[in-house]
Amino acid sequence: MNVLVVNAGSSSLKLRVLGEDDTVLAETQVERWSGGDETGPLEDFLAAAPAVDAVGHRVVHGGPEFTGATAIDDDVRTRIEALTGLAPLHQPRALAGVDAARQLLPGVPQVACFDTAFHSTMPAAATTYAVPAAWRRKWDLRRYGFHGLSHAYASRHAAELAGLPGARVVSCHLGSGASLAAVADGRSVDTTMGFTPLAGLVMATRSGDVDPGLLVWLQRAGLPLDDLEEGLEHHSGLAGLSEVGGDLRDVRKAAANGDEHAVLALRVYGLRLRQGIAAMTASLGGLDLLVFTGGVGEHDAELRADTAAGLAFLGVDLDAERNTGADSRISTDGSAVAVWVVEAREDVEIAAQTRALLNAPDRKP
């Protein structure tokens, strides 16, 4: 089964056709895609790509309802659209991708694969906010978690490579957005993001965890709500700390030149990351396997080394000579915790979920 994977980001569109053995048969990335009714990029791609048997779409938010891959029809599309308020940057783009694919490939099965679904296995203790019960019931307030497609693939693939079935894994998805997942025997039991993708680690331009009382104070001090949202989403994180931008490479260059703001940014970023990994380890009751993935996780050897050095108390011991490349072990042979770098392959996870749903023996035609 050839699967077209449609990954619509907040401003980009990634398209990839995977064959039955996950060989990449065709791919392209549109850096600036407006969404809406714009079908041109997908139409051009399909004209040159091999025929596809199914389409798998990445959808960021499944809310409390969608806890697994779901075949898309008009009703499902409407229910996904109803969740737009929970992911206003990403949900409309995903739906634009769905609409374009359904228009250009009528009759081809379309499947929604949700980033939140992987975390639906988290226990109530990990998902429940200590806020008034009336609020929780009225607005379905809970921790959902995100980057689930990446965490699912990275934790499973790393366990396979390491020969550690049933391992206690902390998966580190580090990119422009960043989150951790605690995975026990293939199931998510905790994660750092929450009701929205703003929570948890320091990110490129997102704040991560902030004292809610501080936000209330800012509102009372007169900061408009729109400015508060804009600041937390687009001007915080590494960008807000360093004042040179959210790209970790630029922050490192500035720090190397003595910029004190950049130096502080690196320290805050690294400390929050180590704290998060330790917290995920507590949720697991121990740690067998630590996995780095995502653009930063795969390519920043210095970050991996610094993180490992700060986690020596957990038994993490990195091998400096191995600390390069993807899909490789970078810990020493004697390390109590195996440390691996895994290439981010959300597309493989989406294709696998799409095939599993469509090949299910009890699926209705």
Structure confidence at residue 8 (pLDDT): 87
What backbone torsions phi and psi does residue 114 show, to the nearest 5 degrees?
A: -105, 135
Q: 22, 37, 75, 115: which one is catalytic?
A: 115
Specify the CATH number for the domain of residue 292.
Answer: 3.30.420.40
> Would you say residue 156 lies in a domain?
no
What is the domain range of residue 79? 3-114
Examine the domain organization and report whether 78 and 173 are in the same domain.
no
Least confident of 90-94, 240-244, 291-295: 90-94
Structure confidence at residue 163 (pLDDT): 97
Examine the domain organization and report whether 89 and 200 are in the same domain.
no
Examine the domain organization and report whether 332 and 247 are in the same domain.
yes
Examine the domain organization and report whether 100 and 40 are in the same domain.
yes
Structure confidence at residue 41 (pLDDT): 85
pLDDT over 70 (residue 365): no
Whether 115 is catalytic: yes
Examine the domain organization and report whether 205 and 307 are in the same domain.
yes
Per-residue pLDDT tens for 30-45?
Answer: 877 767 667 888 999 9
Examine the domain organization and report whether 207 and 84 are in the same domain.
no
Examine the domain organization and report whether 92 and 167 are in the same domain.
no
Domains: count for the chain: 2
